[in-house]
Amino acid sequence: MPANSQRDVEQSKKALATWLGEKVGAEVSLGDFGGPGATGFSNETIIVDATYNGDTEKLVVRVAPTGYTLFPDAAFEEQYRILTTLAEKTSIPVPAVRWYETDTSVLGAPFFVMDFIDALIPSDNPPYTLDGWLKEASPEVQEKVFWGAIDSIAEVAALDPDSLDLPPLLDGLDAQLDYYEGFMVGVESSGEELAVARRAFEYLKANKPQDDGRVFIWGDSRVGNVMYDAEGNRLAVVDWEMACYGSPSQDIAWTWFLDRHHAEGMGAERLPGFPTKEAMIERFERLSGRSAKAFDYYELFAGFRFAVIMGRLAVIFKEWGLLEADNDMGQNNAPARLTEQMLNELGAE
C-alpha cells in the first residue's frame, strides 16, 4: 500500500531538478512525476522522467518515510547500503543506485535515486490470485515467476553474511522476537486488539527451535518483490526494508505464508503453475546448501509478524480517516485468520 504523501509536486519537481542538475552537470527538466500505484507499504516511491543533454531517462526516487511509518524503525540508510553492497559483491540482480542524499531540504527526507527497470510485478492489490497479468499468464510463466522468487531466496541464503560488509541489522531470533514484541505492544497501546498475534508470540517464545545456522535474510521475500519480463524471467529483486540475520528457514517460510495469504486468505485458488511446498523447500535447500528444517516454526513466525503489521496498518488508516475508529481490521484480517488456523493445528492455547 502506498505511503500517504501530501507532497507539493511542483515544488518537489523544482527542487529535484536542481539537485539532479548538480549531479549530472547539466540543466535538467522533469516530466512525468508520480508513484507506481498500490505497491509498497511505507517508503514513498517517485518515478520521474528526467531530460538533460538532449536525452530523457526514467529514474526511481525512493524517499524515507516521515510522519506515519509502518515499522518502528524504517532502516532507510540500511536499505541503500544493502542495495549497493549486493550490486558490488554478488550476482543477485538489484536496481542500480545512482545517488544517496541525506539533505532533507530537497525532498523533506533522505532519498536515493535508482535506475528505472521496465518490468512486470505481481500485484498485491488486487492480489495476483484474483486479477492481473500473472493470473492471466500461462502455467509455464507462473512457474518461472515462482522459481524466480525461490531462486532469489536461495542465492541470498547462500551468501556468507560476514564477508559482505552489510550494515548492522536485527541479528538472530531473540532479537527479532524482542523487536516484534515491542512493535506489537506499540500497536496495542494505540487501541488495537491483537489477540491472535499475542497468542502466536507466546507460542513462539516457548517453542524456539534449536539454532540452525545464521544467514542474511531478505525479509520481505515474495514473488511480489521480484521484477519480471513478460516471459517470467527475473529482472531484479527489490524491497529490503525487513532485512536481518537469522535462520535459513525464515525467508522461504515468509514467501509461502504470503502466497497462502494471497490464495486461501483471499478465498482464491493458488495459481496453477505455482509448485508445491515440498518442491519449493527441496529446490531451496538444493540451491542454497542450507536446511529449512525449522520451516513450520518460521511459517508461524511469518503469520505473527504479518498480523502485527496489519494491526499497525489499521492504526495508520484510522489516523488517516480511511477507517472508522471502531473498525476491526486490526484483528479481523487474513493474516490473523491464517495464523489462528496454524495455532489451532499446533494445539496451542
pLDDT tens readout for residues 26-56: 999 999 887 654 344 467 889 999 999 999 9
CB 248 within 8 A of CB 286: no
Is 121 among the domain residues?
Answer: no
Is 46 among the domain residues?
Answer: yes
Domain coverage including residue 79: 9-115
Of 200 and 37, more confident: 200
The pTM assigned to this predicted structure is: 0.93
The CATH number of the domain holding residue 239 is 3.90.1200.10
Residues 75 and 209 reside in one and the same domain: no
With both helix axes pointing from N to C terminus, report the angle between 334-346 and 295-320 in degrees, rounded to the nearest 10: 150
What 3-state DSSP class applies to 109? coil
Give the span between the Cα atoms of 32 and 30, in whole angstroms: 7
Residues 104 and 158 reside in one and the same domain: no
218 burial level (CB within 10 Å; 0-12, 13-18, 19+): buried
- pLDDT of residue 3 exceeding 90, the answer is no
CB 141 within 8 A of CB 231: yes
CB 157 within 8 A of CB 251: yes
Residues 162 and 236 reside in one and the same domain: yes
pLDDT of residue 39: 40
Residues 250 and 190 reside in one and the same domain: yes
Average pLDDT over residues 205-218: 94
Average pLDDT over residues 143-164: 96
Give the span between the Cα atoms of 258 and 247, in whole angstroms: 18
Q: How many domains does the chain have?
A: 2
Q: Which residues of 260-276 are buried (b: 16+ CB within 10 A; e: fewer)?
A: bbbbbbeebebbebbbe
Residues 220 and 279 reside in one and the same domain: yes
Is 128 among the domain residues?
Answer: no
Provide the total of helices (H) and of strands (E) in the chain, helices listed first.
Answer: 10, 9
CB 149 within 8 A of CB 223: yes
Per cent of the chain over pLDDT 90 is: 84
pLDDT band at 6 (very low <50, low <70, confident <90, very high): low
Residues 214 and 251 reside in one and the same domain: yes
Give the span between the Cα atoms of 246 and 265, in whole angstroms: 26
